[in-house]
């Protein structure tokens, strides 16, 4: 389950270093981004499994950056866990609007962060299994055969 890439986007170098250490010690591969203007490019190149996003950054708001990331085809399916020192109920609609499904309040315990990451990974794996089993069931109901072997046999029998 480990050996996954986790991108960390935060303009605070000390926070980045601390999170990088926590993730390394927990068996993850951290990818740090200190400049939000490079976030989309870094995420596209490194293809992380999850993004940890600071919401309050001086140069670029985390909500805005999350919206940008979710607007790019190659990065829109990467789950984002928001991090911030402050949370208000008014943020809830922004979370939904930007596609943030999880949020963790700073300061947090390392185990709380790892728990949030692992839950997000598990949830993603369940969604993949569910969607692929629904796809298979639909295909079977319609009589569609999608394996390379059956495609090859169909091609040979039609000649």
User: Cβ contacts of residue 106 below 8 Å, gap of 6+?
Assistant: 83, 84, 85
The DSSP bridge pattern shows strands 29-33 and 5-9 to be parallel
Residue 48 or 155, more confident:
48
- In sequence order, the β-bridge partners of residue 104 are 83
Give the sign of the dihedral formed by CA 68, CA 71, CA 75, CA 79: positive
Q: Which of 22-31, 67-76, 77-86, 113-122 has the highest mean pLDDT?
A: 22-31
State pLDDT tens for residues 129-155. 555 444 444 444 443 333 333 333 344
* C-alpha to C-alpha distance for 125 and 135, rounded to whole angstroms: 15
Q: For residues 36 and 83, what is the distance between their CA atoms, to the nearest angstrom?
A: 15
Q: Does domain 5-157 have CATH number 3.40.50.2300?
A: yes
> How far is residue 46's CA from residue 31's CA, in Å, rounded to a whole number?
8
Domain ranges for the chain, please list them: 5-157
pLDDT value for 140: 42
**Residues 71-78: what's their mean pLDDT?**
86
Residues 56, 49: Cα–Cα separation, whole Å = 22
Q: What is the pLDDT of residue 99?
A: 80
0.85 surpassed by pTM: no
Burial degree of 86 (CB within 10 A; 0-12, 13-18, 19+): exposed
Helix orientation angle between 110-141 and 13-25, rounded to the nearest 10 degrees: 70
pLDDT at position 40 is 92
Residue with tokens 């949030």, as numbered in its chain: 116
Q: Which tokens is 63 given? A: 């909500």
Question: pLDDT tens digit string along 19-36?
Answer: 999 999 999 999 999 999
């Amino acid at each position: 389950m480990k050996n996954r890439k986790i991108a960390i986007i935060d303009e605070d170098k000390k926070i980045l270093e601390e999170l990088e250490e926590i993730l390394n010690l927990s068996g993850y591969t951290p990818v740090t981004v200190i400049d939000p203007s490079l976030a989309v490019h870094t995420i596209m190149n490194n293809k992380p499994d999850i993004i940890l996003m600071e919401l309050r950054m001086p140069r670029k708001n985390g909500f805005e950056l999350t919206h940008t990331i979710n607007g790019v085809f190659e990065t829109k399916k990467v789950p984002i866990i928001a991090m911030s020192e402050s949370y208000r109920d008014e943020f809830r609609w922004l979370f939904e609007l930007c596609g943030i499904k999880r949020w963790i309040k700073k300061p947090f315990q390392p185990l709380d962060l790892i728990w949030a990451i692992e839950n997000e990974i598990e949830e993603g794996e369940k969604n993949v299994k569910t969607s692929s089993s629904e796809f298979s069931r639909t295909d079977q109901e319609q009589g569609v055969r999608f394996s390379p072997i059956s495609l090859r046999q169909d091609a040979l029998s039609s000649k």
